[in-house]
Amino acid sequence: MTELVFRDDAYARSCAARVVAADEKGIRLDRTVFYPTGGGQPGDTGTLRVASGETIAIVDTIKGEDPDDVVHVPTPGAPLPPPGTEVTAEIDWERRYRLMRMHTCLHLLCAAVPGAVTGGQVSDGRGRLDFDVPGSSLDKAAIAAQLNALIAAGHEVTPRWITDDQLEARPELVRTMSVKPPVGAGRVRLMEIAGLDMPIDLQPCGGTHIRNTAEIGRIKINKIESKGRQNRRVIVAFDE
Ligand SMILES: [Zn+2]
C-alpha cells in the first residue's frame, strides 16, 4: 500500500520516498505525489531522482491491484532501482496543475448542466462530460457564461469524508454513473464546492482539485456533440 500524499495535499510537487518494488509493470514507492489514472483524470508524469543525481523518467502512473497501490511507469528499457533505494519523486507540476484546474472545472460543469453524467475525461488543456439529456436543450453560450461566472466568483473547494454507509443512504450524491465512488475502504472522500446556502457541487471524488474556482481561469465551450439520441457531449477548454 502506498501513502497517497496527493490525496491530502494536491499541491505537493515532490516528496521523499523509498522504492518498495520494481518490476516490468513499474516502480512502487512507500509514498508518492504521483496521481494514478482514474476517475477520468490521467496519471501523472515526472521523475524519480536517486541520491547519485540520476533521474528515472516516469511516463505514466497507474493503479495496481489494491485500492491504494500506485505504479510508476518508467520509460521502456530504463534500468529499475532496487527495493530500498531512496528517491525524490517529483511530478511535472505544470501539466498536473492544468489537469487539476480542468478536473475541478468539470465539477462546475456537472452543476451547470442538469441531467445524469454518463462519462467524462480530462486531458491536458481540455475536458468533456457526457450528459443524459434529450434533444438540443443545451445552449453553448449560456453554459459558458454560467461556468465563467462560477469560476470568477471564487468558490472554495474542500474535501469532506463520510462513511460508506452514509454514502449509501444518500445515493443522490453520486452524479456520475460511469465512475463508481471508491467504496470498500470504510470511508469515501467527498469534494464540496461551497455555495451561499447549499453546495454548488458535492460528490465523491478521488481526483486532484484546486482550492478555489478562481484558479481555473476563463474557459470556453468548444462544442456540444450529439452522441446518440439522449447523450450530449460538452467539451470545455481553457480560453487563453
Ligand atoms: Zn473531482
* C-beta of residue 126 within 8 angstroms of C-beta of residue 235: yes
Residues near 113 by beta carbon (within 8 Å), at least 6 away in sequence: 129, 131, 133, 138, 143, 234
- Give distance in angstroms: CA of 142 to centre of ligand 1: 23
Residues of the chain above pLDDT 90, percent: 66
- Give distance in angstroms: CA of 45 to centre of ligand 1: 19
Residues near 174 by beta carbon (within 8 Å), at least 6 away in sequence: 167, 180, 181, 203, 204
- Residue 52: the pLDDT is 87
- Residue 227: the pLDDT is 85
Average pLDDT over residues 229-239: 93
- The answer on pLDDT for 177 being more than 60 is no
- Give distance in angstroms: CA of 204 to centre of ligand 1: 8
- The mean of the pLDDT values for the chain is 91
- The answer on pLDDT for 178 being more than 60 is no
- Give distance in angstroms: CA of 27 to centre of ligand 1: 26
- The answer on pLDDT for 185 being more than 80 is no
Q: pLDDT digits over 42-64, tens only?
A: 999 999 999 888 999 999 999 99
Lowest mean pLDDT among 34-48, 143-157, 168-182, 184-198: 168-182
Burial 158-177 (b: 16+ CB within 10 A, else e): eeeebeeeebeeeeeebbbe
Q: Could you give the CA distance from residue 116 to residue 55 in angstroms, rounded to a whole number?
A: 44
**What H or E segment, with its residue span, contains residue 33?**
none
- Give distance in angstroms: CA of 100 to centre of ligand 1: 8
- The answer on pLDDT for 167 being more than 90 is no
Residues near 99 by beta carbon (within 8 Å), at least 6 away in sequence: 41, 42, 122, 124, 208
Angle (CA) 229 233 238, round 5°? 165
Predicted TM-score of the model (pTM): 0.92
